[in-house]
Amino acid sequence: MESTTAYLERLRPAGAKRSGKRDLIVNVFLRQEDHLSADDLVDLIRREDQRIGRATVYRTLQWMVDAGIARKVDFGEGRFRFEHSYRHPRHFHLICKTCNTSAEFLSSDIEAALEEVAAARSFAARQSVVQIYGECEACRTGRTAPARQIPTELLFARDALRIAMATERSGLEFYTKAAEVTNNPRGRRVFRRLAEEEREHLARLEARYRQLLAADPDLESRPTFLFFRGAANGLFSAGAEELRAGVDARRALLIGIRCERGSHRFFKRYGERFEDSEGKQIFLEFADEERQHLELLIRESRAIGPPRARRRKRPAKRTARAGRG
Ligand SMILES: [Zn+2]
Ligand SMILES: [Zn+2]
């Protein structure tokens, strides 16, 4: 993954010289998880270096917006706030009008609906802003909200792993069941092999998940960031359900192909669109594993061949020529 320095080097305009002041301002800004006003940033910078003036901070902030390092957000307070985009996945906001805090989330259903509307109206969308105004849980219940912010990147990685694990679990269930119901020995071997692979992948993902949680004791209990309704129960659960009806190896392979293809597309599509981050990597690695499964299933399905023609009772006159179809 890209380091902060590499990230900044890439964004630095050609020919622009490094500036110590600007580097300091950018570095302080990138350490923040909050949505800061320009004056909040001035205060933070002054704590590090009293000699840096307000105008320099403002100018650098504008440069960061132009360079894509900072995003400008408007929470309806009559002034802008700024958040950095370094390893920070795009998101929507919940904004509490009582305590003026904001929380971030992303929903695949909302994004799909926005894309559908824009496409139907032939509209080239550049940016979509979704903000929910209201009162947060802490303000409504009097319970104190956790003071410490956890970087959205970590919540994103946590949720990406949860979705990938749910998919692996449903895939494991699907292939185990497919191996049970299939009579064809070749088909059964393939399904057993895939079940074994899903088991290994799942163990790997679980280890990675435990490692991620170990980095921060509060991470597991923080609210959901990624709302991916279609994927939450695993992209293979509908396929596993279909197997219950009793199917042959060919049919089971076709259902498997459909599930793997859906899963591959889902993880690739989202993975490619996310900013550089651990969550993005999890999605893309997973998309690649699903593609390998998909290719294996397609090969097997070809090897098993087309469905054998069913013997039908033919009309008496044609029995002489039967056996060709
Ligand atoms: Zn509040
Ligand atoms: Zn935000």
H helix runs in 142-273, sequence order: 152-181, 185-214, 229-232, 237-243, 249-273
- CB atoms inside a 10 Å sphere around CB 91: 18
The pLDDT of residue 86: 82
Cβ pair 81, 35 in contact under 8 A: yes
Q: Residues within 5 Å of ion ligand 2 by Cβ?
A: 83, 104
pLDDT at 56 over 90: yes
The pLDDT of residue 236: 83
State the pTM of this model: 0.80
**Which ligand has the nearest atom to the CA of 136?**
1
How many angstroms separate the alpha carbon of residue 149 from the centre of ligand 1?
Answer: 14
How many angstroms separate the alpha carbon of residue 97 from the centre of ligand 1?
Answer: 7
pLDDT at 320 over 80: no
Of 199 and 16, more confident: 199
Q: Which of 261, 284, 254 is nearest to 271 (CA)?
A: 284
Highest-pLDDT range among 74-83, 131-140, 298-307: 131-140
Mean pLDDT rounded to a whole number for the chain:
86
Give the pLDDT mean for 169-177: 92
Of 74 and 235, more confident: 74
Query: 253 exposed, middle or buried (CB, 10 Å; 0-12, 13-18, 19+)?
Result: buried
Q: At 65, is the pLDDT very low, low, confident or very high (cuts 50, 70, 90)?
A: very high
Sequence-ordered list of residues with C-beta below 8 angstroms from that of 109, at least 6 positions apart, any chain? 227, 229, 230
**Which ligand has the nearest atom to the CA of 104?**
2
Q: What are the φ/ψ torsions at residue 92 (nearest 5 degrees)?
A: -110, 170
Tracing tokens 């999605």 back to the chain, one arrives at 283
pLDDT at 62 over 90: yes
Q: What percent of the chain clears pLDDT 90, i.e. is strictly above it?
A: 48
Q: What percent of the chain clears pLDDT 70, i.e. is strictly above it?
A: 90
Tracing tokens 């409504």 back to the chain, one arrives at 140
Distance CA 9, CA 98 (A): 40
The pLDDT of residue 272: 85
Distance CA 311, CA 315 (A): 12
Distance CA 284, CA 322 (A): 52
How many angstroms separate the alpha carbon of residue 213 from the centre of ligand 1?
Answer: 27
74 token code pair: 């408007």
